[in-house]
Structure 1
């Protein structure tokens, strides 16, 4: 695979990366890191070894070995459900939706929701993505050749997409209020607490999550109102309509109001943030590597000319897709996922006991020196048809039966928006404004991604 290392491979200039721990953090050090930047709990050994284990309140294991990851995510998925910490963080906001539910309750929801994310339906939603790309380019052009926080701009663009494809036609839908509520919840409640680190049961209240009630109420009230209005409306179907109509083909079960709401909020929260982050990091990486940017821009301009990209263009722009893939490798939106072992097992020759936390540090997996050449370097050619990448060495959307249901949606949107912007602008880094990767729930660029956008002639 393009990941197989060579001892004398040349080292290219490296984009910004997280500082990993070089010594044990201890209980309180782990708590501080987990609350400020989860990437800092990762030991440097995680990019050099297939597995690292330890004990900080609870026994934990970090797994970076593709064979072991296949076992966790595919072969024994029922024995490695989402961790208690993950559920404690997200259940107050999105209930027992697809992201949190387990077992039979998850399976019937997945079957009911799957048609909404078919290739046909994703393609039908592409005009919304094209319109958002066009609007974003217009805003950047109007701002003139000055420094722009493209992270804020990408959040706006992708939130326009997800709100239009889930809540189209809702005249009274307050996008700004919904987005503020989401941000407030993540900031207040999305941080690991002392109780989580100590392994205390989920029914013990976490103070931060108790005080996030107003944000939760706002999110849920907007969703409930939209669902109630939609049941009486007649319009071309969008994701909300498809969700309401979705039926599990095995049980004929349909989602009820709370289940629709919780899944709708899951799609809104995950469906814009992850793509906005991918686009922001991709633009940063291209500004960091001007020669790669020019290559991507030439591909976009030769395909698009002066128009915005559409779904029909995506397959004709493989290098831009490779840029997206490489951005997802270096800065995966879900930098760490975790599971709780239900049965005794052995991974990489080490004992795993029931109740152990098993982490998949995707950020470290994607930079592991046993799996990738020059792992910290920005090199989109890794994904341009050379030696194949091991499926379980690259997990930006997870894998197995619980692979992200919206992966195709996100990739199509990212290529459409990125190609449209690159065809029209040359992005240049702003001195002294290097973003810092910080993981709370997602891998955000602390301080934003400040670039100067120069219109192309």
Structure 2
């Protein structure tokens, strides 16, 4: 790891708050960029508490986080705010459901995300990587927004692996509906900060009804058509969800449950990987030495072909870049829970109803846990140094760890390796991205790079 006493150039980061914002200041900040509510103390202390209408606590202490995510997971369900934001779009899917309803769905869906099934989906990722490289080549020397390119690539993958690229699935319509929902409904409201119950209408979420209806209609039509046509060979994720069965109860998902989980996988399955890839390319352009070493590794392994799942073990430098990108710019930069019972965390009193936030962005940059935390240093994931399990949580942890984590990492390594084997990426002066989080941590303004073909 780099010596923390040495002043190093650092990639872009969010400016953390040094003075209290108050209720309306917090509302303004949260609606434009959730990172703007993070106090500077969150990267210097294990816990920060306060009150903004309702009581809240931010945890950056690995043992306390373990308690919340693993040891007492039923006492810390997803927060009311999270459910209010996402339930209109994805219902009581795996991401939202709690208790027994969550457990049977997780057991039914788990086989779809087995190591074998994820590997079987890799050829679609390889095709998308090849298609992306072809588009980058065709662009010539002009600057490209690689965030937009990565969104296109990963949406191609997720629509292929969920729906086998069937013609009845309008990719562009679905993507527009998702973006519309996130932009209009995915923002914290004053009612959320005041802790009002979910049945009180939030104007933005009422206005987003058309986008939600379009998303659900597209998914319902795809499910009905698949039930009529039968499963493909090999089966895609929709086939596996339709066939999935809880081994404990023999319960299967009905169409609404399949739809809600399908939408969850479509939204999360392309957005998180696209963001990881876009930020990774930004970081590679930021540090040409890291990029050059990774590019040489990819070129040595791949030659002129696109990467496959079989190549991943031979691409440790690429994987380390992905891991370090997920540390610096975790797609889910903040997750939250609502305490159901009284507890004590880091010596702090937790009351039933308190919001307990895990600011992953701040956790990954906490000075008590990381050396040179704001520096880009993939070696911290490849030099054998131990990383505390609960100090690094790009996919959460415990029983509710992201079911698609293996899928996302495989896709990111395949696409990133293919691109770095063929191009050197350079930053465009004056077009630096800004980290902005609404639901996910996006590069506002895009990631503008030029791509020089490797000889």
Q: Give TM-score, length-normalised by structure 2.
A: 0.99
Note the 1:87-236 alignment, pairs <5 A: 87-234=83-230, 235-236=232-233
Aligned to 1:12: 8
Looking at structure 2, the residues matched to 213 and 77 of structure 1 have their Cα atoms a distance apart, in angstroms, of 32
Does the Cα contact within 8 Å between 2:367 and 2:373 map onto a contact in 1? yes
Aligned to 1:388: 386
Q: Secondary structure at the match of 1:89?
A: helix
Q: Secondary structure at the match of 2:228?
A: coil
Note the 1:35-46 alignment, pairs <5 A: 35-46=31-42
Does the Cα contact within 8 Å between 1:133 and 1:421 map onto a contact in 2? yes
Does the Cα contact within 8 Å between 1:145 and 1:455 map onto a contact in 2? no
Q: 1:141 deviation in Å?
A: 0.4
Instruction: Provide Cα deviations, 1:354-407, integer angstroms capped at 9, x if missing partner.
Output: 000000000000000000000000000000042210000000000000000000
Structure 1, unmatched stretches of 5+, are none
1:301 aligns with 2:299: yes
- Runs of 4+ in structure 1 over 6 Å off: none
Looking at structure 2, the residues matched to 135 and 12 of structure 1 have their Cα atoms a distance apart, in angstroms, of 36
Aligned to 1:77: 73
Range with bigger deviation, 165-174 or 20-29? 165-174
Looking at structure 1, the residues matched to 140 and 390 of structure 2 have their Cα atoms a distance apart, in angstroms, of 43
Q: Secondary structure at the match of 2:420?
A: helix
Instruction: Provide Cα deviations, 1:304-360, integer angstroms capped at 9, x if missing partner.
Output: 000000000011101100000000000000000000000000000000000000000
Cα-Cα RMSD: 0.9
Q: 1:417 deviation in Å?
A: 0.1
In the comparison of the two structures, how many residue pairs are matched? Answer: 453
Looking at structure 2, the residues matched to 199 and 171 of structure 1 have their Cα atoms a distance apart, in angstroms, of 44
Does the Cα contact within 8 Å between 2:424 and 2:453 map onto a contact in 1? yes
Q: 1:12 deviation in Å?
A: 1.6
1:352 aligns with 2:350: yes
Q: 1:169 deviation in Å?
A: 4.7
Instruction: Provide Cα deviations, 1:151-184, integer angstroms capped at 9, x if missing partner.
Output: 0000000000000000115212111010000000
Looking at structure 1, the residues matched to 87 and 107 of structure 2 have their Cα atoms a distance apart, in angstroms, of 21
Does the Cα contact within 8 Å between 1:149 and 1:449 map onto a contact in 2? yes
Does the Cα contact within 8 Å between 1:116 and 1:239 map onto a contact in 2? yes
Q: Secondary structure at the match of 2:390?
A: helix
Looking at structure 2, the residues matched to 17 and 66 of structure 1 have their Cα atoms a distance apart, in angstroms, of 22
Q: Secondary structure at the match of 1:11?
A: coil
Structure 2, unmatched stretches of 5+, are none
Range with bigger deviation, 59-68 or 160-169? 160-169
Q: Give TM-score, length-normalised by structure 1.
A: 0.98
Looking at structure 2, the residues matched to 169 and 206 of structure 1 have their Cα atoms a distance apart, in angstroms, of 35
Instruction: Provide Cα deviations, 1:48-88, integer angstroms capped at 9, x if missing partner.
Output: 00000000000000000000000000000000000000000
Q: Secondary structure at the match of 1:437?
A: strand
Q: 1:244 deviation in Å?
A: 0.5
Aligned to 1:49: 45
Q: 1:232 deviation in Å?
A: 1.5
Looking at structure 2, the residues matched to 200 and 158 of structure 1 have their Cα atoms a distance apart, in angstroms, of 37
Does the Cα contact within 8 Å between 1:336 and 1:362 map onto a contact in 2? yes
Looking at structure 1, the residues matched to 433 and 293 of structure 2 have their Cα atoms a distance apart, in angstroms, of 23
